Structure 1
Amino acid sequence: MKQTYDVLIVGSGVVGSAIAREFSRYKLKIGVLEKELDVCCETSGRNSGVLHAGFTYKTGSLRAQCAVEGNAEFEKVSEELDVPFKRTGKLVIGFTDKDMESLLKYKALGEANGVKGLEIIDKKRLQELDSSAGGEFAMLAPSSGILNPFTYTVALAENAKQNGVNFYFNNEVIDIKRENGIYKVKTVKDTYETRWVVNSAGLNSVVISNMLGIDGYTLGGFKGEYFLLDKKAGKHISMPVYPAPDEKGGFATHATPTVDGNVLIGPSSEFIEDFEDYGVTQPVLDDLIKDGMKMFKPFKKEDIIRSFSGIRPKLIVKGTRQTLDFVIERRNEVPNVINLVGIESPGLTGALPIARRTVALFKEKEELIPNEKFNPRRKGILNFSEQSNEVKKELIEKDSNYGEIICRCECITKGEILEAVHNCLGVETVTGIKNRTRVTMGRCQGGYCETRITEIINEEKNKNKEDVMYSRVGSYMFEGKVRD
């Protein structure tokens, strides 16, 4: 006999994982359905990794509220979840009188939203703060910061799992029906029963919303392409450098340091209809180089080690590209459903505030009993390369796997990879290990270590080489032997 969940969450991006963690504070049976093989495979893992201050969003909007709220609490969150985070500040640069008008407009908007410390600075101060930045003047947003979106999403999901939440990967939802007060959620693998459904499906949120009987929403896919630069470029930049926003609050190409020392150049912005189109295109990449050099003066082509793209699910007015605010709703005519649509930037910054608003809608209908065993803390995988020589020696003496370097570019040991392979979510893909340890993220982008990682997965999980996948369903690392 199937067990019935109290809450079933569709989608395990950063917001879905945050919702799972927030619900695990209470005595509930909670499940998460994810169509991919891991968390953060789509929008949550394909972005700039910036903790936004909240100065480009309409005052009173959910975007503004969640950005400012999420920004203010992130030191505590990063400490609880063992997530690397730097409150670097952000420079929004300008060149023209029109740019100055834009900066003054968004400074006033930010202050109305409760963003603290916004300041217009001249070129001298700009260069003192970051000599790599272009621009004649800038707005400084000191509360902005940078984080690793992979690590953060994984941490939220792992903490939810440690507090009793069940995750089901490779479980794309294909049908939802309600019978006798219980939802039957059919996936490509099984059928799950639940009293409540939370739609946090990101790019597929309108599809799930329609299945639940809430129609009328339209998502627009806004694709952004990026360059990732080598760590030697990261030595020149101290904080994100953005161009002055356009009249709608959007940004063109910007330069962003990562918490791991690289630099991101991008994103571009292109309206697309195919939400699976993660390709990159030469004309767009050429424009990124040209625009990126305006933001980040030391930008050199030889520093590029990877290109990639992400897609943001913007809620739009049908037939237009006019974007709307986040939707976080509960409707009486569709009982026991919490529907989230159009959650994109600043979804990374506002994930936990969004989760708290989701749980608050549940509380309007049912009493929640606190889970006295809830533990908000999660410990990440030890980073061997950051340890002192004394600690490294102790680790190797206790476990010789720490003495074997698998990823030479990032100096990641077999000990770290083994810990990642045995992660509590049960993820077995190469990118799953990558997102937990940084293997394959260096200059060679896995040219040296990918086959070794695959071999470790084979050995530890008793899998055939042909069964190991890179990232998504069907992305097999090997199709067969090159020779016998």
Structure 2
Amino acid sequence: MRDKYDVLIIGAGVIGSSIARELSRYKLKVAVLEKELDVVCETSGRNSGVIHAGFNSRPGTLMAKYCVEGCLGFDKVAKELDIPFKRTGKLVVGFTKDDLEGLEELKEKGEKNGVPGLKIISEKEIREKQPYIKGKAALFSPMTGIVNPIIYTIALAENACQNGVEFFLGREVRGIKRIEKGYEVSTEDEIFQTRWVINSAGLNSDKIARMVGIEDYTIYPCRGEYFILDKNFSKYLTMPAYPVPNKKEGGLGIHLTPSVDGNVLIGPSAVYIDENDNYSSTQKVMDMLIEGGRKILPQIERKYLIRNFSGIRPKLVSKEKGGYADFVIGERKNVPNVINLIGMESPGLTSALPIARDVVNIIAKRETLQENEKFNPIRRGILKFNEQSDEKQAELIKQDPDYGEIFCRCETVTKHEILEAVHNPLGVKTLTGIKNRTRSMMGRCQGGYCQTRIVKLLMREHNLKPEEMRYSRKNGYLFEGRVR
């Protein structure tokens, strides 16, 4: 039996980690249970990394409210958490008469939602903003931005951890039992007692809801596939460019998004699947991504493609119904002290902190929360050596020679940065944990040069045997036996 907690959060995606950080502002004993070996392993880390302005959401919905609030306030949190964020603006590009009507509808929705600065621009104005983008007209949104969703979630979790929240990784919830003063939450071999349960389990949120007796939610997994383009392609695109969305599909269409790290993403597709953990990529969809991307940006060529991946949306609407359902956030009278967050798809990344604040407000209506006077909103990330001036780099190498040893040539990641990631605050020991925190293994060679060196360093620093090394997941072991 573990210690008793005031609040237990199930799921360490961007919303669960945001809730953890907001709760750490108060004198509460808080823990997070995550079934994977790191935070941000599923939906929160497998998306376009766009901070949406809020013009796609239906007026009057929670999606619209939280998205606009999250977008407008993102500069502050990015500064506090030391994460790269660029307010690039965005183009939604139209080609046909129907598209032009769609742009007007988007603009009207956005203005009802309180999105500032929306403007429909001509073909000439598109060229002035993005010379290589094709289209007859576009909706321009100046407030849209881009962020690294993985680093953002890690930063939220680390800041929560630094402020006293306990993270238990690799703990899949198997059952929840009502007891006299709260709940017992069981994992494979542990039991946690808590007064409050917060269900932020994303793709498994319907399953967690059923554990407390709520049967009326079903998550419909919808997979989106992406291509990642080499940094050499970045000269063609400096802001996200989207088509007018297809209302039936329930996605925003195949779009192009520059990343804060210099790559460009093509995608996602939108295909309903039966499993909520099938991250496969398919040739048919990959071909479709290239075709759809070229419609907006003809310069796309296969030589620029360096990797593909997929993400899964936890949708509350079936393929037959299509479109979007609103976020579900709150507790039931017959299941007190359980706050469910169901159907947290896009714009969940943008909405995470406003959602977290309202979750805290739900608790605050039921009990008095005392402020944690030791709470510190500031978190410092790993300093990127390759972004420093020559003088600063020389100074860093003088302070620590490990800055002078390059581990990842493609991304110019030093041994010092790798070591910082190896000794991360959450205690993550997977290869992707290092990759996500440093961008090592994300360059043109995709780890061909640095991966074995990073594995060796991880083993040495954590005293791991080769057979204990894992790539990402519990059963994702890198080695089965010794070779020469």
In structure 2, how many angstroms separate the alpha carbons of the residues matched to 1:10 and 1:117? 38
Residues 289-322 of structure 1 show CA distances to partners (whole Å, capped at 9, x for unaligned) of: 1111112222110000001100000112697445
Structure 1 partner of 2:75: 75
Judge conservation of contact 2:2–2:191 (CA < 8 Å) in 1.
no
Judge conservation of contact 1:235–1:261 (CA < 8 Å) in 2.
no
Structure 2 partner of 1:30: 30
Deviation at 1:131, TM superposition (A): 1.2
Change (3 A) 1:261 1:319: closer
State the SS of the aligned residue for 2:315. Answer: strand
Q: Which amino acid aligns with 1:193?
A: Q
State the SS of the aligned residue for 2:332. Answer: coil
Residue 13 of structure 2 is aligned to residue 16 of structure 1 = no
Structure 1 partner of 2:432: 431
Judge conservation of contact 2:182–2:337 (CA < 8 Å) in 1.
no
Q: Which amino acid aligns with 1:28?
A: L
Q: Which amino acid aligns with 1:231?
A: K
Moved more, 313-322 or 331-340: 313-322
Judge conservation of contact 1:317–1:324 (CA < 8 Å) in 2.
no
Give the number of equivalent residue pairs: 483
In structure 1, how many angstroms separate the alpha carbons of the residues matched to 2:482 and 2:149? 36
Deviation at 1:474, TM superposition (A): 1.1
In structure 2, how many angstroms separate the alpha carbons of the residues matched to 1:434 and 1:46? 14
Judge conservation of contact 2:45–2:149 (CA < 8 Å) in 1.
yes
Judge conservation of contact 2:431–2:472 (CA < 8 Å) in 1.
yes
In structure 1, how many angstroms separate the alpha carbons of the residues matched to 2:53 and 2:189? 41
State the SS of the aligned residue for 1:409. Answer: coil
Structure 1 partner of 2:94: 94
Structure 2 partner of 1:47: 47
Task: Report 1:44-443 matches (<5 A).
Answer: 44-247=44-247, 250-316=251-317, 320-321=321-322, 323-443=324-444
Deviation at 1:2, TM superposition (A): 4.0
In structure 2, how many angstroms separate the alpha carbons of the residues matched to 1:388 and 1:330? 51
Judge conservation of contact 1:103–1:245 (CA < 8 Å) in 2.
no
In structure 1, how many angstroms separate the alpha carbons of the residues matched to 2:395 and 2:422? 22
Judge conservation of contact 2:247–2:323 (CA < 8 Å) in 1.
no
Moved more, 31-40 or 229-238: 229-238
Deviation at 1:132, TM superposition (A): 2.1
Judge conservation of contact 1:317–1:323 (CA < 8 Å) in 2.
no
Judge conservation of contact 2:83–2:155 (CA < 8 Å) in 1.
yes
List gaps (5 residues or longer) in structure 2. Answer: none
Q: Which amino acid aligns with 2:367?
A: E
In structure 1, how many angstroms separate the alpha carbons of the residues matched to 2:344 and 2:6? 24
Q: Aligned Cα RMSD in Å?
A: 1.2
Residue 43 of structure 2 is aligned to residue 7 of structure 1 = no
In structure 1, how many angstroms separate the alpha carbons of the residues matched to 2:121 and 2:322? 33
State the SS of the aligned residue for 1:131. Answer: coil
In structure 2, how many angstroms separate the alpha carbons of the residues matched to 1:20 and 1:61? 24
Moved more, 258-267 or 177-186: 177-186
Residues 121-141 of structure 1 show CA distances to partners (whole Å, capped at 9, x for unaligned) of: 011110110112121111101
Change (3 A) 1:104 1:321: closer
State the SS of the aligned residue for 1:242. Answer: strand
Deviation at 1:182, TM superposition (A): 2.5
Deviation at 1:482, TM superposition (A): 2.5
Residues 264-287 of structure 1 show CA distances to partners (whole Å, capped at 9, x for unaligned) of: 000011011111110000011011
Deviation at 1:468, TM superposition (A): 1.1
In structure 1, how many angstroms separate the alpha carbons of the residues matched to 2:253 and 2:72? 26
Deviation at 1:234, TM superposition (A): 1.1
Deviation at 1:444, TM superposition (A): 0.7
Judge conservation of contact 2:406–2:414 (CA < 8 Å) in 1.
yes
State the SS of the aligned residue for 2:185. Answer: strand
State the SS of the aligned residue for 1:235. Answer: helix
Q: Which amino acid aligns with 1:349?
A: T
Judge conservation of contact 1:102–1:246 (CA < 8 Å) in 2.
no
In structure 2, how many angstroms separate the alpha carbons of the residues matched to 1:437 and 1:359? 32
Judge conservation of contact 2:251–2:323 (CA < 8 Å) in 1.
no
State the SS of the aligned residue for 1:76. Answer: helix
Moved more, 359-368 or 96-105: 359-368
Structure 2 partner of 1:456: 457
In structure 1, how many angstroms separate the alpha carbons of the residues matched to 2:318 and 2:44? 23
Q: Which amino acid aligns with 1:131?
A: P
In structure 2, how many angstroms separate the alpha carbons of the residues matched to 1:380 and 1:322? 37
State the SS of the aligned residue for 1:330. Answer: strand
Deviation at 1:363, TM superposition (A): 1.1
Moved more, 413-422 or 125-134: 125-134
TM-score, normalised with respect to structure 2: 0.98
Residues 335-374 of structure 1 show CA distances to partners (whole Å, capped at 9, x for unaligned) of: 1111110001001001000101111111111111111110
State the SS of the aligned residue for 1:339. Answer: strand
In structure 2, how many angstroms separate the alpha carbons of the residues matched to 1:132 and 1:424? 43
Structure 2 partner of 1:469: 470
In structure 2, how many angstroms separate the alpha carbons of the residues matched to 1:209 and 1:318? 22
In structure 1, how many angstroms separate the alpha carbons of the residues matched to 2:22 and 2:54? 23
State the SS of the aligned residue for 1:426. Answer: coil
Residues 219-255 of structure 1 show CA distances to partners (whole Å, capped at 9, x for unaligned) of: 1111000000000001221100000122357421100
Moved more, 392-401 or 35-44: 392-401
Change (3 A) 1:352 1:89: same
